[in-house]
Amino acid sequence: MGTTGGDREKLYKTVEEADMYALIAPNMCKQIVALQATLKTMSESYPGAFGNYSLEITESHQSGKADTSGTAKALLESFNIMKGGTPLNVEEITKLREREEQIAFGVPEDSLKGHAWHTYTLKSADGSVMFQFKHNVNGRRTYAEGVVDAVNFLATKITQASDKKIFDMIDVLKSGKMRD
C-alpha cells in the first residue's frame, strides 16, 4: 500500500488484526526512499551540522495534489535536526500547483499532469555557503518499478512464511533484491 494519506495507526492495526502480510510505504520510489533513509541517518549522526543555516523547501506536484508532499514532510524532519535552531514548519514549505509557477520551476510541460519535483536549500547565515538537495521525477514509472519490487519482495516473504508480516520500502532496499 503506497499512500501518504489516511490514518497510519489504523492501517497498521487493521493489517495486524487480520494477520495478513503487507508492505506499507508512503513512497514507492526506491531512490527517494534511499535518500530519505540516508538523510535520517545523517541527521541522527550529525545533529546540528548545519547550525545557523536557513532552510527552504519547494515542492511541485500535479495541480490535483491538494496536500503537502509526504516526502517533503519526511525530509523536513531530518533537515530540521541537522540545522538545529528554529525549525521550519510544514506550512512554510512552498507548494507549486499552478502551471505557470511549475514551468518557471523547470517542470517540462509534458510532465505537468504527473511529476514530483523537490528542492531543499540550506544557506549559511551570511549567505556564503549554500547546499541544495534535489530530486525531480517526471511521470510515474519509477513508482511503478518500486511497486513491482515491493510485490516480488512481499511474495517471497509470504512463500517463506516470514514471522514478520508488515514491511516497508526500507525492507525492500535492504534485501538488495530489486530489478535492474
CA end-to-end distance (rounded Å), the chain: 22
Say if residues 128 and 54 touch (Cβ distance below 8 Å). no
* The one catalytic residue among 10, 40, 61, 134: 61
SS3 69: coil
Residue 18 CA to residue 1 CA, distance in Å, equals 15
Residue 13 CA to residue 141 CA, distance in Å, equals 30
Say if residues 96 and 105 touch (Cβ distance below 8 Å). yes
Q: Is 65 a catalytic residue?
A: yes
Amino acid identity of 1? M
Query: What does the block give as the cell for 19?
Result: 494477520
* The one catalytic residue among 13, 40, 65, 135: 65
Strand 166-167 relative to strand 130-138: parallel, antiparallel, unpaired?
Answer: unpaired
- Residue 1 Cα to chain centre, angstroms: 15
| HSE toward the beta carbon, residue 40, CA cutoff 13 A | 11
Q: For 19, phi and psi rounded to 5 degrees?
A: 55, 50
Q: Is 174 a catalytic residue?
A: no
Catalytic residues: 61, 65
